[in-house]
Amino acid sequence: MPDQNSGAPGSLFGGVFARGSAIIDDTAWLQAMLDAEAALARALERAGLAPPGTGESVTRAARAADFDLAELGELSALTGNPVPGLARALARAVGGQPGRAVHRGATSQDILDTAAMLLARRAIDAAAGDLATAADAAASLAAEHRSTIMIGRTLLQQAVPVTFGVVAAGWLAGLDAAAEGLTWVRDRRLAVQFGGAAGTLASLGANGAGVKALLAEELGLADPPLPWHTERLRIIDVGTAMARVTAALSKIARDVTLLAQSEVAEAAEGRGDAVPGAGSGGGGGAPRRGGSSAMPNKSNPVASVAILGCARQAPGLLATLVASAEQEHQRAAGAWHAEWQPFGHLLQVASSAAAWGSELLRGLDVDTGKMAADLAAAGGLPLAERVTALLRNVLGGPEAHDLVATAAAKAATSGVPLRDILLADPDLEGKLTQAGITSADVEQALDPAGYLGASADFITAALAAHTRVATPASASTPASASSHH
């Protein structure tokens, strides 16, 4: 059985890596496999291959709480996967004639792969909901801070001015793109698996394709043209969509950790709620979000750190899924087995990252005063590019660049504003006067509000694109997919 309990609620790391509503642990896998078996029994009954009442009997018995996970895990060592032991246990629990229909026509991979698709849908729905909330929060930040000027930073160094609105618009675009990827996978790539021993459903004779279609209908999954036992692009597509979620969120989280540094302090996470009865590691009292076990003065960006912790795991998990796509003939020897744990864990960390991202953006504190102060303290250096453009018409490109670079270096080392360094150069003053460029022109070139380019247009475009993002498919989950458990 795939072991995801280290990241489940109530486990040591569950508070970080099992945030949100999608829990992909051993119990979730077990219930998804039972759901697949129960749906198969209903499909067989509908096809006339099982007595009336079979589907209801199997569905009633297919409850994870009634099965021993540890025992099933031990039995999996005998067969290489947990399904044979589970099928036997379920058949015993159902008993009588209905019990004989359990697992009929299926192979172990049919049940596990179908369970994986059910878990993927659950995780996608949870992640999509949290991404939508996060994106709405990013859109609000972009609109609110359309004119909030701050220092832009490239290669971790100060660059030209930007607005925080355009920063948030960039976050928004990434979140919307990730959400669209989830919608595409949910609508187009989640499909039932049902092929029997070697992908031909030979044991069901002429009824095989019909039962496959009914099984898909029962579970609210797509009915693929044929089984995909050793064609694993569906698994990779799910994994890729979830990895894209963590990628979009990790960019936001990294920006927030940098903006929240004590020396920058232009943004900060909301403190969140205390956890009753818990401690922050160094004594009594109510713990707080961001507390340190050693340094009571600290307020750490916990949500951002948790997102980054989730995101760092995603590439390796996805790589395993891609590497496992090389599968032999009609059934793989080992590669399929290698998918189970990384697939489930990727679903979990991506949905957890999305939940953290929703909290992060809804509670983000933006210090516009500190942004303005940091920009002013830069002494005009972020506008060096604009000053160079002003002087280019007077001095020529190379000379203007070198002069401003020299002046910027002096300003940086002396703490004197760039304006004063430039206007203190008698040779430059003469050339500027000759060209009709006044000190007021230089000062205007050093006004950050006049050097924001298309920032406002980009914000408007991102907000307009956001309004066009379709409602996640989770809003219309088929009743047949959720009416039994």
**In 47-107, which ranges are continuous DSSP H helix?**
54-61, 69-79, 83-94, 96-99
Please answer whether residues 85 and 72 qualify as being in contact, where contact means their C-beta atoms are separated by less than 8 angstroms. yes
- Separation of first and last alpha carbons in the chain: 21
**Phi, psi values for residue 157, rounded to 5°:** -115, 155
Question: What CA–CA distances, in Å, run from 353 to 125, 138, 249, 305, 348?
Answer: 14, 16, 7, 10, 9
Q: Are 465 and 144 in contact (CB under 8 A)?
A: no
Lookup: tokens for 475: 């809003």
Residue with tokens 């596990």: 112
CA 234 → CA 130, 186, 210, 244, 367, distances in Å? Answer: 23, 10, 22, 15, 44
* 176 contacts: CB under 8 Å, gap ≥ 6: 135, 465, 466, 469
Active-site residue, from 331, 362, 392, 480: 331
CA-angle at 317, arms to 312 and 320, nearest 5°: 140
Nearest to 5 by CA among 97, 73, 84, 88: 73
Catalytic residue status for 6: no
299 noted as active-site residue: no
Q: Please identify which of the residues 6, 21, 203, 292 carries the catalytic annotation.
A: 292
- Active-site residues: which are they? 292, 331
